[in-house]
Every structure is written in structure tokens, then in C-alpha cells.
Structure 1
Amino acid sequence: MALIEIVLLALIQGITEFLPISSSGHLLLPAVLLGWQQQTLAFDVAVHVGSLLAVVIYFRQDIVSMTRAWFGSVLKGQNTDDSRLAWWVVVATLPAVVAGFLGKAFIEHYARAGIVIAVTTIVFGLLLWYADVRARQNKDLVDLTWKSALFVGLMQVLALIPGTSRSGITMTAGLMAGLNRESAARFSFLLSIPTILGAGLLLTLDLLEAGDAVDWQAIFYGVALSFISAYLCISLFLAWISRIGMLPFVLYRLILGVVILFIVL
């Protein structure tokens, strides 16, 4: 991989992993417009590691509190807001784990076409706008229930379809469940931790089985740039989302979807 490819793809991964704008749609454009080859497995692992480090470090205090509370709930039966939130992350993760295991092969073969990415980018962008405009948004994370968490988890299954955007669909579901914008975003980011970790582990196993040579320069830049861009993205998004709403991201998705349609048709 050339240095410009490494830099651009790492930044795209770091930024689009947490914004509700579809990472697969953005990763499609360099390949189509510039003729770049698909990124290597090792580089894919690297940018996932960078994104994971960013969200873990940003939410480190929440993670420590939730982990302690979860063990207190399991071992001592002590239920707190933190322990319940930890359980809701587990509940919301399970549907994607099951669906990913059962449907991975189908998605890989049939759902990665440019037309699919374009349509899902547009359709789920409009759904995000509808949820942002029509939902009550009167709940914080402490008000989340297991039913709402399960609903978010079931909606996250749709993110297996490229172009949907994992962060976009989980924020949409959170808004539909009544969470305010910041709470919906925070739950989406917390939910990304086991999701990215699982995806990274699967990619690592694929990498070990392939036995390909590793470009360590690409690994270093991939981890560093995806980490920096993802961390800044999370920080700025949480600081601004309550004021600016989801409309800018919806409009961006509509433009992106139309551009992809124009390219692939």
C-alpha cells in the first residue's frame, strides 16, 4: 500500500466508524474513483485496533465503573445504574453476534454491491432523520430498559448490510426508544466496543490463517491515524450533537448515496 492510501484509508476508518454516515460507502469511493486495491487484512486489523483504542480510552472511566458494577451484580446481587447499563450492552450485543455468525457468508457474497451500499446509505439516512424529528428524546441512559436495549441490538443487526452504518442504525434505534441525542450516541459508542473487538478478533484469525507478510509501516500508521481521528470524532460529536442534531449527517448521507449511485449505474 502506498503511503497516501494508508493515510486516507486510516482516516476514513477512524472518522466514519463513529459518525452515522456509513464507513463502507466511503471505503468504496477510493477503490472505484482511484482504482486502489482492497486494503490488506493486516491493515484492516490495524485500523480496527486504532478505533477500539480510541473508544476505550475515551470511555475508560465509564468502562471501569460498569465492569466493577457488573461483577458486583453477578457476585453479590448489587444492582446499580452502572451494572444495569453493562447488562444492557451485553443484551444489545447478542443479536449481532448471532446474526453475524449465521449470515456472514451471505452478506459477503450478495450484499457488498455498490447499488446496495448506495440504497442503504440513503434509506437509513432518511430513517435517522425521521427518528431525530419524531422521537420523544426524553430519556437518559439511566432510563434505558432491557427491552429498549434489545431493540437497539436487533436494529444493529441491519448494520451487517453494507451502507447501513453501525453507529447510524444504533443511534436511530436509541432515538426511537426515547433516548436524547447524547444518550443515544453514548450508548452507540459503548456498544461499539464489543462489536469492534469481535470484528477485530475475527480479522486477526483470518490474518493468521492467511499467513501473509505484514507491512509494519502500514500497521503503525493505520493504528495511529485511526486512533487520533476516531478519538477526535467521538469528542466533537458528543460535544455538538445536542445542538446541531442529526440533519447535517442525514444530508451528507443523501449526497453520498446519490454520488455512489451515479458511479455504479
Structure 2
Amino acid sequence: MEELIILLKYIFLGSLQGFTEPIPISSSGHLVIAQELFGIEMSVDDFTFEILMNFASLLAVLAIYRKDLIRLATNSLSYVRIKTEETKKDFQFVLYLLIATIPAGVIGLLFEDTIAAVFRSTKTVAVALIATGIALFFIRNLKGRKNDGDLTWKDAVIVGFAQAIALIPGVSRSGATIVAAMGLGMKQETALRFSFLLFIPISLGLILVKIPDLALGDMWLPYLLAFIFSFGFSYFALKWFMNIMARGNLIYFTIYCLVVGFGFLIFG
């Protein structure tokens, strides 16, 4: 019976992390909330769980954006040999993704443990969710004019620092980067693509840095199930979020973040 409970716990956590990772409601914040609500003892400091769930979400992003990734890689390599306007735009897009990765990469390496220790509480998560909800409210109707080829290095830096802010539990990575991107005038499709392609290098970096801490042991089955469910829910949630964005229905996430945030701030 105890083994079944452990399996169900990790299936639940994997599903929760997978579903909340792509949408702007903070996966790390919801893991903290889940622990508080259901008395789950597993710490989100569990490096093996963190690595595997990150990898599952990464695979979902790679699957959905595979055509964009192939085009960007092909055209960027072509630009090195034959410089054309079309290949230049994709080369610069990749360059800006790399630039935007730097703030979160540096701050994460230096201060991630400190940030997690200081800010990991339901009150912090509640405040962060409220801030996310307010930010989403202000950009909900923005259409933007910047396509992939219209971005600048300044856009990349600002979106990069927005991603760094998401190191605080309760601040959604996708929410922070999309709010910043759309606030800078990017079209919704460009903001979405830049945000989720930006997830790739930062996720790969996290996996490479923390892979020495990977330890399956007797927990291989719970971790495997959590991984499978995390991948499935990440894939579904990202597709669903893309549809929500296309319909201009970000207000749903605003309402959710505010209700949950104020709920835990008052009653948590």
C-alpha cells in the first residue's frame, strides 16, 4: 500500500509540474502549494526529480517547435557560409536567444540556492502569483508589431532578465518572459516562440549542471512514471496555451493567479 501511495504521489507531482510548466502560473510555485495543501514531504530540492521533470518538459517543447528549430539551425549554419537576408534573420534570432539566456544562467549559478531558501514559502508564492496575474492583465490585449526579424539585442537582454526573475518560486518563467516580450512590442506568436525556445538553453544548462546529482536508486519506477506524465501534460498544456494565446484569452490566467494568490495570502 505504501509503495502505491508513493507511485501516486510522484504521478501527481509529475503531472502537476508538467501541466504548469508551460502556462503562466508557475510550476515551482504550484509544487510548493501542493506540498502545503496535501502534506507531501518530498522536497522540491530533490535534484533527481527536478532534472527529470525539466527534461520531460524540454522534450515536449522540442517536439512542438521541432520545425522551427530545424529551420533556425539550418539557416544559421547557412548564414555562416552564404549571407542572405532570410538566413540573417534566423541567425540573429538564435543569437538573441543565446544573449537572453545569460542573465538567468549567471544569476542561477550564483544565487539559485539562496533564492530558493529565502523565497520558498506559500506567502512568497502567493505574492508572486498576484504580481503575475496583474502583469498578465496589462498585456492581455496587446497585439504587437515585431516579428522574429525585428528583434534587437536590447529586447533579448530585457526578456533575459525577466526569465531571471522567474528563479523566484511563484514567478512563472513563461509568464515573465511573455509579459516582457509583449511589453516590448512583439507579436503574440513571436513572443511565444521566443519564450519557449529560450526555455531550451536554460533547461539544458540546468540538466548539465545538476546531472552529477542524478540518483535513481530504488526510486526509478516513481521517477519514470513522473517523467512520462510530466512529458504528456507539458505537451498538452503548451498546445492548449498556444490556442489560448491565439484567442486572446489571457484573462483566464489573470483571474486564476489572482484568486489563488489572494486565497493563499489570506487563508494560507
Q: TM-score, normalised by structure 2?
A: 0.89
1:61 aligns with 2:33: no
The residue number in structure 2 matching 1:256 is: 260
Conserved 8 A contact 1:91-1:146: yes
What amino acid does structure 2 have at the position aligned with 1:43? F
Instruction: State the distance in 1 between where 2:6 and 2:39 align.
Output: 13
Instruction: Say which of 12, 18, 23 aligns to 2:22.
Output: 18
Instruction: State the distance in 1 between where 2:78 and 2:99 align.
Output: 18
Conserved 8 A contact 2:244-2:250: no
The residue number in structure 2 matching 1:52 is: 58
Kindly state the Cα deviation for residue 123 of structure 1 after the two structures are TM-superposed. 1.1
The residue number in structure 1 matching 2:47 is: 41
The residue number in structure 1 matching 2:78 is: 72
Alignment of 1:72-151 (within 5 A): 72-74=78-80, 79-133=87-141, 135=142, 137-151=144-158
Relative to structure 1, the CA distance from residue 185 to residue 214 in structure 2 (aligned partners, 3 Å threshold; closer, same or farther) is: farther
**Which deviates more from structure 2 when the two are superposed, residues 91-100 or residues 212-221?**
212-221
Instruction: State the distance in 1 between where 2:30 and 2:202 align.
Output: 20
1:191 aligns with 2:195: no
User: Please, which runs of 5 or more residues in structure 1 have no aligned partner?
Assistant: none
- Moved runs in structure 1, 4+ residues, more than 6 A? none
Relative to structure 1, the CA distance from residue 153 to residue 200 in structure 2 (aligned partners, 3 Å threshold; closer, same or farther) is: same
**Which deviates more from structure 2 when the two are superposed, residues 20-29 or residues 165-174?**
20-29
Conserved 8 A contact 2:146-2:185: yes
Instruction: Say which of 215, 222, 232 aligns to 2:219.
Output: 215
Kindly state the Cα deviation for residue 58 of structure 1 after the two structures are TM-superposed. 1.2
Kindly state the Cα deviation for residue 10 of structure 1 after the two structures are TM-superposed. 0.9
Instruction: State the distance in 1 between where 2:145 and 2:255 align.
Output: 25
Relative to structure 1, the CA distance from residue 116 to residue 55 in structure 2 (aligned partners, 3 Å threshold; closer, same or farther) is: same
Instruction: State the distance in 2 between where 1:250 and 1:235 align.
Output: 19
Number of residue pairs matched by the alignment: 260
Instruction: State the distance in 1 between where 2:38 and 2:213 align.
Output: 27
**Which deviates more from structure 2 when the two are superposed, residues 35-44 or residues 192-201?**
35-44
The residue number in structure 1 matching 2:229 is: 225
Instruction: State the distance in 1 between where 2:19 and 2:216 align.
Output: 27
Instruction: State the distance in 1 between where 2:80 and 2:120 align.
Output: 41
Relative to structure 1, the CA distance from residue 63 to residue 28 in structure 2 (aligned partners, 3 Å threshold; closer, same or farther) is: same
What amino acid does structure 2 have at the position aligned with 1:87? L
The residue number in structure 1 matching 2:207 is: 200
The residue number in structure 1 matching 2:167 is: 160
SS class of match (1:32) = helix
Q: TM-score, normalised by structure 1?
A: 0.90
User: Please, which runs of 5 or more residues in structure 2 have no aligned partner?
Assistant: none
Conserved 8 A contact 1:42-1:214: no
SS class of match (2:217) = coil
The share of aligned pairs that are identical, in percent, is 34
Conserved 8 A contact 1:50-1:222: no
Kindly state the Cα deviation for residue 73 of structure 1 after the two structures are TM-superposed. 3.7
Conserved 8 A contact 2:32-2:121: no
